[in-house]
Amino acid sequence: MGRHISLFILPLFLFFPTIIQHAKPAMSLPLSTNLRWIVDEKGQRVKLACVNWVSHLEPVVAEGLSKQPMGMIAKRIVSMGFNCVRFTWPLFLVTNDSLASLTVRQSFQSLGLLESIAGIQANNPSIIDVSLIKAYQAVVSSLGENNVMVILDNHISTPGWCCSSFDGNGFFGDQYFNPDLWITGLTRMATLFNGVTNVVGMSLRNELRGPNQNVSDWYRYMQKGAEAVHSANPDVLVILSGLSYDKDLSFIRNQPANLTFSGKLVFEVHWYGFSDGQAWVAGNSNQVCGRVANDMMRTSGFLVDQGYPLFASEFGVDLRGTNVNDNRYLDCFLGVAAELDLDWALWTLVGSYYLREGVLGFNEYYGILDWNWCDTRNSSLLERISALQSPFRGPGLSETKLHKVIFHPSTGLCVLRKSLLDPLRLGSCTDSEAWRYLPQKTLLVMGTYFCLQADESGTLAKLGIICSESNSKWEMIADSKMHLSSKLRNGTSVCLDVDLDNTIVTNSCKCLNEDNTCDPRSQWFKLVDSTRSRSGGKASLNFDSILDLPGKEFFWNLLGASI
């Protein structure tokens, strides 16, 4: 991977900022919905590729401002390929006058965080003596100046780390969760940011949960909250969380939310490795992925088929790469997120917290920035999510006809060939081969007669033109439906795989079930609907012109195709 990482990082960090800021026009806001898609004023899809930025812990100041100037952080967010921030706030910031009137300095002083005061004075002196809400607004403006969209997320009532079932912040009627006060707070926030163009949405309440949660109160209060936000600020998307830590929206299937307005409603879902305890470590990865992804489709994924945008507003992993549960989950999540082409927000931007759960300078191993908020903690995650940062499809985007790309979650790359005579390999999904997956299970390069084949040696994948044999038929197998499997003529099953230099090969199918120690993820692929592959139109021209050449047998022989 070393070579690929360096190839990737160079363009990402050197050229991305300039491309995004100067070449890519800002989307025309506000946003609205068109069936399951979020679209801009022109009706073109805008995919939310967000990162969560925390401002709801005890100091009620956006994390990291003692380490870096906010403008630098905003630029870093853009250079990492995100277009949006889900920016958290605690309800009491706008409903408790004594909290709201504190300055940043006073807030840190009251917690004894003197080092953070010095850090803010050095890096963000303009906010040290302003009120907490003014500091929050300053961060939103700074993001706006850098063309970053913002979703205001009411994360909790009481400032502090979230969430547990018994923290009094979980559901309407809990100790710190008075529904009327919540409506007041939402209305204040919506009003405050009315006319602030880059604020495109509001998450009404994070992770509803706890012993008091119930469906009837969900409708009662969420509908009220949605109406309040919409009347105070009709521009923003109204984003609703499900029950059980935002895992469960299954009740919407039978009873839609009853709202007086349309074109603004989005649902959000959270999905982590630990959402299923230690299931990923304890079980076989194919079986766990199959089960968990089916659960997700049943409890929230179905919403896209019902015509609602679904925002996976929290997902993430321990970026040290040592948490096996997280590692196995991530490939499954990325496969589903690519297949459904979901809007999403990574947890989290935060490299370290001023104070979390009593720990000063708490190091956030799920944070994409390092402890100093200076460098990225682990660029391999950025490489893997980069394909998901742009839309695969959606209104107003089609560059080529609808086709499939063969996406490989564990690298974030897609199957392509650099030139006609090169072997199939993984590369940027932007340059992906455009495939058609036919009912008879062949995978054709669009606009050509070439299909994906398992070489009879059982070790190579190649393109050929005799596409009727078993070695040209590819089924998605295992509970995960993520192995692309074919049969050699002698009946042996093989699975598509990737070797060390990212060449596409075939191998015997790995750990399809039972075994919980082996790792199938190099063989995990998703066929993703896309209209964006560059090669779609161009490749077909090349192939077609070769098919007409007098010396075509020569080319086909080179390709390993038998005529």
Ligand X SMILES: *[C@@H]1O[C@H](CO)[C@@H](O)[C@H](O)[C@H]1NC(C)=O
Task: Return residues touching ligand X (CB under 6 A).
Answer: 92, 96, 98-99, 173, 212, 214, 216-217, 258, 260, 319-321, 327, 378, 380, 456-458, 488, 490-492
Q: How far is the CB of 260 from ligand X (least distance, A)?
A: 6
560 DSSP 8-state letter = T
Q: How far is the CB of 327 from ligand X (least distance, A)?
A: 6
Closest CB to ligand X among residues 365, 474: 365
* CB of 195 vs ligand X, minimal distance in Å: 27
- How far, in Å, CA of 18 to CA of 144, rounded? 16
**Which three-class secondary structure string do you get for 440-495?**
CCCEEECCCCCEEEECCCCCEEEEECCCCCHHHCCEEECCCCCEEEEECCCCCEEE
Whose Cβ is closer to ligand X: residue 42's or residue 320's? Answer: 320
Residue 180 CB, nearest approach to ligand X (Å): 14
- By C-beta, is 327 or 432 nearer to ligand X? 327
Between 112 and 125, whose beta carbon lies closer to ligand X?
112
Report the C-alpha gap between 474 and 467 in whole angstroms. Answer: 11
| Token duo for residue 129 | 């003596």
Between CA 203 and CA 345 the distance in angstroms is: 12
**Nearer residue to ligand X within complex by CB, 146 or 327:** 327
Q: Which of 418, 562, 437 is nearest to 504 (CA)?
A: 418
| Least spacing, CB of residue 490 vs ligand X, in Å | 4
Q: Under a CB-based contact definition with an 8 Å cutoff, are residues 104 and 127 in contact?
A: yes
Write out the two tokens for 177.
């969760």
Q: Which residue shows structure tokens 């022989």? A: 557
Q: Alpha carbon 354 to chain centroid distance?
A: 26
Shorter beta-carbon distance to ligand X: residue 473 or 532: 473
Residue closest to ligand X, measured at CB: 321
If we measure between CA atoms, which residue out of 49, 32, 528, 88 comes closest to residue 308?
32
One-letter amino acid for residue 253 of the chain:
R
Query: Is 485:510 a contact under the CB 8 Å cutoff?
Result: no
How do beta strands 504-507 and 526-530 pair?
unpaired
- Smallest gap, in angstroms, from Cβ of residue 487 to ligand X? 10
Nearest approach, Cβ of residue 158 and ligand X (Å)? 7
Burial code (b: 16+ CB inside 10 Å, e: under 16) for 327-360 equals bbbbbbbbbbbbbbbbbbbbbbbbbbbbbbeeee
Decide whether 109 or 492 has the Cβ nearer to ligand X.
492
What's the token pair of residue 204? Answer: 């009404």
> CB-wise, 81 or 458, nearer to ligand X?
458
Task: Tell me if 214 sits within 8 A of 250, measured CB to CB.
Answer: no
Residue with tokens 């080092």: 115
What minimum distance in Å lies between the beta carbon of 132 and ligand X? 10
Nearer to ligand X, 194 or 459 (CB): 459
Shortest gap between Cβ of 107 and ligand X (angstroms)? 8
Is omega for the bond preceding 50 within 30 degrees of 0, making it cis? no
Beta strands in 71-131 (DSSP E): 84-90
**Is 5 or 122 the residue whose CB approaches ligand X more closely?**
5
Distance in Å, CB of 46 to ligand X, minimum: 29
